[in-house]
Amino acid sequence: MHTRYFLLVSLIIALLAGLLFLPGLPGEFVFDDIPNIVNNSSIHLAELSPAALYEVLATKQVSGNMRGLPTLTFALDFWRAGGVADPATFKMTNILIHMLTACALAWLFRSLLLIAGVPEKRVMWVAPMLALAWAAHPLQVSAVLYAVQRLQTMGTLFLVLALLAYLQARQAQMQGRSGRTGLLGCLLLWAAAMSCKEDSVLLPAYTLALELTLLRFAAADAGVAGMLRRGYALAMLAGVAVYALWVVPHYWQWEAHAGRDFSTPERLLTQPRVLCMYLWQILLPLPSHMSFYYDWVQPSRGLLQPWTTLPAIALVATLLVLAWRLRHRQPLFALGVFLFFGAHFIASNVVALELAYEHRNHFALIGVVLAVAGVMMHFSQRLQMRSVVVAGVCAAVLLALGGATLLRAHSWSSNVLLAKAGTEAAPSSPRAWIELCDALFIAGGGVNVRGNPNLEDAIAACAAGAESTPDTLNSLALLTVLKTIRGDVSPEDWERFQHRLQTARMSWDNARAPLILTHYASLGVALDKAQVLAALATLDTRFALGAGTLAYIGNIVMDDFAEPELALAYFIKAVERLPAGDPFAWQLGAELRNQGHADLAEAVEKAGLARLKALSSTPESH
């Protein structure tokens, strides 16, 4: 009876969690959705057949080849939508996955609370409320309604199920049974999680946290208990060895990473500040604290640059030490702390990822919910608070979370609303301003509508973005484009852009600025040809462009600016940066011949042969 009742309650919780995100529909695709979904022809499934599904899995993906399950669901969503990339279809699937995770999480919390010794009668309502607190938190909005983040949310679903299977196996071992079925299920679910997102490799760290706090390596058979201790000790030694001997040497850089303005030591100094920011957002979840755009976060250059760096490091260290000391007396709090920081181990380490992203908290938020629950239960017992008071406080918290999520989800219903919310929450974010400018212009019809009704608002947004920071380039580039469309672009506008292009730090974001010019030139905007070519030349000297980008620039220069000789320089540079076996040089040569540029085709093919000869003579090729 209790099981059936809990199943019903967990399903209701899942339904409530899903309803909170509906104001974000239909929404639009943003950022990484474009290359991974909209422009990704490999997931544009035309028929539902085993061969077609296998082809989706076998095709190399933009996001990597280890994310097969989410990629397959993207293809199925494309097919379900009638052969189009429909944002509402993709986002509804994300909401369904979130609902399933909330339901599974209720059962995980139920198991953890029972093992912690919480009375079953209390567990029956506490566990679902904790699952709802996780699912209804406004920090989850960007993970659920950002279509491509299904990579993360599906990974979390399988991790939660894997932890449930692990707990089942370990409880069986404590009762004198083998637990093999649960362990096998845990391994299979872990494999499924790994096929969604690489950070799912941290599952052993999560199970170790369970052992250190609630399970304590216990088993009815002393031999099994000893094997558990030895197994985890060996796994830890192996993990430390891999980290020290491969990860650090492979990723560590004393100088700034390519396209970034921080080195590895600076990134490591910055991450405690970022983790504290996440905790602030989770514990005080006001929409104004969540900007979605985090390019405004500046790296720490030293322990006191900015001054918050050292206090943040001290706070992180204090929480970890406190959790270790309380792991037996307050196991839920300690487990929550270990899960939160463990979930951020990869994203907050030496790999040169962006400094902050909200979706990194999708699993980590489970840890904060557990830690807060442990503290609240401890003090409610110490203060002998009446159940009705505790229930009232929990209801008020859930209502506040739900309300904030509804408001934030609504901002995802269109890119204009999302960008406006971003500029309000992070007025110093260059990305927020360029997205607002772009979204306004596109919402007004883009270049296809003469007298675009949003042109003035878009120009105002671009101007504000250009002033937001002295290193902003994209807003300034789009501002120049829009002024050209309006007909009042001046030499001073171009001079300002060219000067900033020559002096601003050249991040990956800023490297897009000249390509904004070429994009609109290809759409027919009458941009100053000499100015655009000068901008491309500056970009080529200041940023290490990839072969694909160089080839794209070459095509624009040849087709839209009628400068085949200048385009040839870009084509040859592209060929010189190709990987082994790439047929681009000969494909381009054939295209150039068909267009009547036999001399250019011969030069490109000659460069291709030289590249092939150079690659074949390297030691790696033998």
**Residue 305 dihedral angles phi and psi, to the nearest 5°:** -130, 90
pLDDT in tens, 471-496: 889 999 999 999 999 999 999 999 99
Residue 319 near residue 337 (C-beta atoms within 8 A)? yes
Q: Is residue 80 part of a domain?
A: no
Q: How far is it, in rounded angstroms, from Cα 410 to Cα 427?
A: 20
Same domain, 458 and 586: no
Q: Is residue 74 part of a domain?
A: no
Mean pLDDT score, 91-110: 97
Q: How far is it, in rounded angstroms, from Cα 110 to Cα 92?
A: 27
Pull the structure tokens for residue 613. 């000869």
Q: Is residue 56 part of a domain?
A: no
Pull the structure tokens for residue 542. 């200041």
Same domain, 330 and 463: no
Of 357, 380, 410, which residue sits at a domain end? 410
Q: Is residue 398 part of a domain?
A: yes
pLDDT in tens, 287-322: 788 888 898 999 999 999 999 999 999 999 999 999
DSSP state of 528: -
Same domain, 508 and 556: no
Please state the pTM of the whole predicted model: 0.91
Which amino acid type is present at position 379? F
User: In this structure, what CATH number is given to the domain that contains residue 477?
Assistant: 1.25.40
Same domain, 389 and 436: no
The band of 622, judged by pLDDT with boundaries at 50, 70 and 90, is very low
How distant, in Å, are the alpha carbons of 39, 514, 526 from that of 487?
32, 20, 10
The band of 621, judged by pLDDT with boundaries at 50, 70 and 90, is very low
DSSP 97-134: HHHHHHHHHHHHHHHHHHHTT--HHHHHHHHHHHHHHH
Same domain, 239 and 347: yes
DSSP state of 247: I
Of residues 619 and 184, more confidently modeled: 184
Give which of 322, 350, 88, 126 is closest to 242, Cα–Cα.
350
pLDDT at 615 over 80: no
Same domain, 271 and 362: yes
Same domain, 288 and 437: no
Q: Is residue 421 part of a domain?
A: no
**Residue 302 dihedral angles phi and psi, to the nearest 5°:** -170, 175
pLDDT at 620 over 80: no
Give just the sign of the alpha carbon dihedral 96, 133, 400, 319. negative
Q: How many CA atoms lie within 13 A of 615 on its CB side?
A: 14
The band of 250, judged by pLDDT with boundaries at 50, 70 and 90, is very high
Helical packing angle, 513-522 and 547-559, nearest 10°: 40
DSSP state of 602: H
Q: How far is it, in rounded angstroms, from Cα 129 to Cα 145?
A: 22
Mean pLDDT score, 388-398: 88
Domain that holds residue 515: 427-543
The band of 619, judged by pLDDT with boundaries at 50, 70 and 90, is low
Give which of 605, 574, 611, 606 is closest to 587, Cα–Cα.
605
Same domain, 159 and 212: yes
Q: Is residue 48 part of a domain?
A: no
Q: Lowest-pLDDT range, 134-143, 160-169, 251-260, 362-371?
A: 251-260
Q: Is residue 620 part of a domain?
A: yes
Q: Lowest-pLDDT range, 158-162, 353-357, 450-454, 585-589?
A: 585-589
Mean pLDDT of the chain: 91
Q: How far is it, in rounded angstroms, from Cα 369 to Cα 321?
A: 19
DSSP 251-288: H--SSPPTT-S--HHHHHHHHHHHHHHHHHHHHS--GG
Same domain, 231 and 210: yes
Same domain, 494 and 348: no
Same domain, 144 and 236: yes
Residues 6+ apart with CB under 8 A from 513: 473, 474, 476, 477, 497, 501, 535, 539
Which amino acid type is present at position 278? Y
Q: Is residue 342 part of a domain?
A: yes
Of 358, 377, 410, which residue sits at a domain end? 410
Same domain, 443 and 375: no
Q: How far is it, in rounded angstroms, from Cα 46 to Cα 36?
A: 17
Of 410, 436, 463, which residue sits at a domain end? 410
pLDDT in tens, 537-578: 999 898 888 888 888 898 888 888 888 888 888 888 888 887
Give which of 355, 352, 253 is closest to 312, Cα–Cα.
355
DSSP state of 537: H
Mean pLDDT score, 125-139: 95
Which residue blocks in 120-221 are alpha helix, DSSP H?
120-135, 141-145, 150-174, 180-194, 203-210
Residue 364 near residue 278 (C-beta atoms within 8 A)? yes
Q: How many CB atoms lie within 10 A of CB 459?
A: 21
Total domain count, the chain: 3
Give which of 398, 359, 311, 342 is closest to 131, Cα–Cα.
398
pLDDT in tens, 43-72: 998 888 888 888 888 887 776 667 889 999
Q: Lowest-pLDDT range, 61-70, 163-172, 208-217?
A: 61-70
